[in-house]
Structure 1
């Protein structure tokens, strides 16, 4: 997993989680859903990169 991709994945997860929690606390469900989507995208990116490291089909 390249350091840049790993950092992107983790940043998306952290920012997404923060946005989701803050928006949910303020009652803004649309923004909370966008934050959740960002968090999920970060998790997906991390999974993809881990697959590449393990010698999966992503290479």
Structure 2
């Protein structure tokens, strides 16, 4: 399990042109569910990531 700070760094790195498929992995594994709700960062990341990336996993 990641801390919200670690996920923040991963999410921001996933938006760079050097990250390969990191953005896809962030969405697939729903890593952004650890981002603090209602923060400036969450609002900005929602502009770039699919909503599923913020939802809990059902397994």
Q: What's the TM-score, normalizing by structure 1?
A: 0.33
Bigger proportion of residues as helix: 1
Structure of higher RCO (CA pairs closer than 8 Å, 6+ residues apart): 1
Q: What's the TM-score, normalizing by structure 2?
A: 0.33
